[in-house]
């Protein structure tokens, strides 16, 4: 390093002391909390097969985004393009998995594609006030399920470090192990 060079640690290249933390989660769960992928997967689970044209109409996305999300689901072996007829590509579910939990939603609502769940259909009884308010405001909420994951302790340490960086008191008992993390999007 030359004398005029300045060394800046990578962890400090963010505004106002933000630090980068990475949470490793099950890739299938992570993929299926995305609203478009959840919608595609749940739509395909309800039928034997669908063409890309039918899927595009059912989930109301442009062709580029449709293929992008189908490719991700296929890479996780959740769906496959199992036959081509002329220019039509036909897709089916190859692995049935339980969809990740949506905060406070009833079983009926859980079964619906993510894009069709109205905030009024979510029972917020027993949820923390801040979470119930976020739901009532229609904010995007994603759950990262950590049950059975080897990353539970890492997630706890990451949350404690983040709270420490932002001066937030996070008084978690030593024995606390997170089963999941709720991510709440900004208001619109």
Q: How much is the pLDDT for 130?
A: 82
pLDDT at 120: 65
Task: Give residue 8's pLDDT.
Answer: 37
Domains and CATH numbers, the chain: 28-93 (1.10.10.10), 101-184 (no CATH)
Q: What are the b/e assignments for 28-54, b being 16+ CB within 10 Å?
A: bbbbbbbbbbbbbbbbbbeeeebbbee
Between CA 101 and CA 147 the distance in angstroms is: 12
- pLDDT tens digit string along 30-73? 888 788 888 899 889 888 898 998 898 888 888 899 999 999 99
Distance of CA 75 to the CA centre of its chain: 17
- Residue 77 vs residues 15, 63, 94, 106, 114: alpha-carbon distances, Å: 38, 21, 7, 28, 20
**Residues 6 or more apart in contact with residue 67 via CB below 8 angstroms:** 52
Please tell me the predicted confidence (pLDDT) of residue 27.
Answer: 83
Is 158 within 8 Å of 182 (Cβ atoms)?
A: no
Give the C-alpha separation, 133 to 182, whole Å.
14
Residue 69 backbone class (left: φ over 0; alpha: ψ -120 to 50; beta: rest): alpha
Residues ≥6 apart with Cβ < 8 Å to 29: 100, 144, 145
Please tell me the predicted confidence (pLDDT) of residue 128: 79
Q: What is the pLDDT of residues 108-159, one digit of tens each?
A: 545 554 444 556 666 777 777 888 888 778 777 776 777 666 777 888 888 8
């Amino acid at each position: 390093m030359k004398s005029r060079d300045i060394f800046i640690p990578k962890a400090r290249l963010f505004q106002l002391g933000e630090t980068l933390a990475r949470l490793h989660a099950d890739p299938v769960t992570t993929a299926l909390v995305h609203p478009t992928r959840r919608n595609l997967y749940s739509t395909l689970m309800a039928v034997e097969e669908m063409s890309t044209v039918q899927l595009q109409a059912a989930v109301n996305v442009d062709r580029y985004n449709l293929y992008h999300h189908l490719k991700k689901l296929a890479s996780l072996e959740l769906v496959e393009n199992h036959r081509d007829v002329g220019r039509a590509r036909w897709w089916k579910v190859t692995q049935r998995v339980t969809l990740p939990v949506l905060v406070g939603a009833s079983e009926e609502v859980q079964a619906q594609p993510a894009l069709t769940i109205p905030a009024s259909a979510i029972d917020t009884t027993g949820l923390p006030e801040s979470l119930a308010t976020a739901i009532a405001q229609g904010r995007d909420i994603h759950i990262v399920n950590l049950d059975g994951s080897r990353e539970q302790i890492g997630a706890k340490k990451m949350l404690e470090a983040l709270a420490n960086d932002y001066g937030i008191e996070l008084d978690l008992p030593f024995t606390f192990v997170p089963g999941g993390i709720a991510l709440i999007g900004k208001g619109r």
